[in-house]
Each structure stands twice: as C-alpha cells, then as structure tokens.
Amino acid sequence: MPVEQALKALILQRYKSIRAFSEETGIPYSTIDSIFKRGIANSSVSNIIKICRALGIDADALGDGIIKAKTTEITGTAAHFNLDKLTPEGIGRYQEFMEFLAEKYSKK
C-alpha cells in the first residue's frame, strides 16, 4: 500500500473524517487531499510536520515512506514529567523546547 493511502487510513482510524482532521490541524482540506493525490514528497515540510505531530508519527520515517510511531527521547531531570497527559502536538512542542534549552544553554 502506498504511504499516502496508509496515511489516509490512519487519519480515518483516529478521526471521524479527513475534514475533522483538517480542522484539528489547521491544514486546508484541499491541501490534505492534494497530499493524498500528488504524494508526500510534493508537500511542504511544515504541513508534513503538522500531520506527523497530530498523528504522533515520525516525520523522518514518513519521508522514507514508512509510518511509525514517534518515540520520545527525553532524558535528564525533566524526564519525570508525565508526558502521557499531553497530546502528540504537546509532546512534540515539549521535546522542541527541551532541545532548544540544551542547544542554547549547554556547558561549553
């Protein structure tokens, strides 16, 4: 099954419709439909990231034509925070923030 079909099936499994997914992510329905028809490779990076965050899937793997769950690789003293309470988007933003802190404030 092409990755676009698998992606569509996953969306329909988790949301009641493509339109509901569109509203949740803020990506126009026509854009999502175009991704299914023209392929993931022809879409913008920002839309793919939004889709992956909403579905909790790995963007790098999706770029390789594979749908797999995104793993959270947060370690350190902040790891005690209960990520189960966050949505996939919240987890992604949390991880981005931790990476930002590590980059900006790492010991030299």
Query: Residues of CATH 1.10.260 domain(s) within the chain?
Result: 3-63
Distance from C-alpha of 18 to C-alpha of 30, rounded to nearest angstrom: 10
pLDDT digits (tens, 9 = 90+) for 5-57: 999 999 999 999 999 999 999 999 999 999 999 999 999 999 999 999 999 99
Q: Which fold has domain 3-63?
A: 434 Repressor (Amino-terminal Domain) (1.10.260)
Please give the model's pTM, rounded to 2 decimal places.
Answer: 0.65
The greatest distance separating any two alpha carbons of the chain, rounded to the nearest whole angstrom, comes to: 49
pLDDT digits (tens, 9 = 90+) for 55-101: 999 998 998 899 988 876 555 555 556 777 778 788 788 888 877 88
Taking alpha carbons only, the member of 57, 51, 60, 54 closest to residue 72 is 57
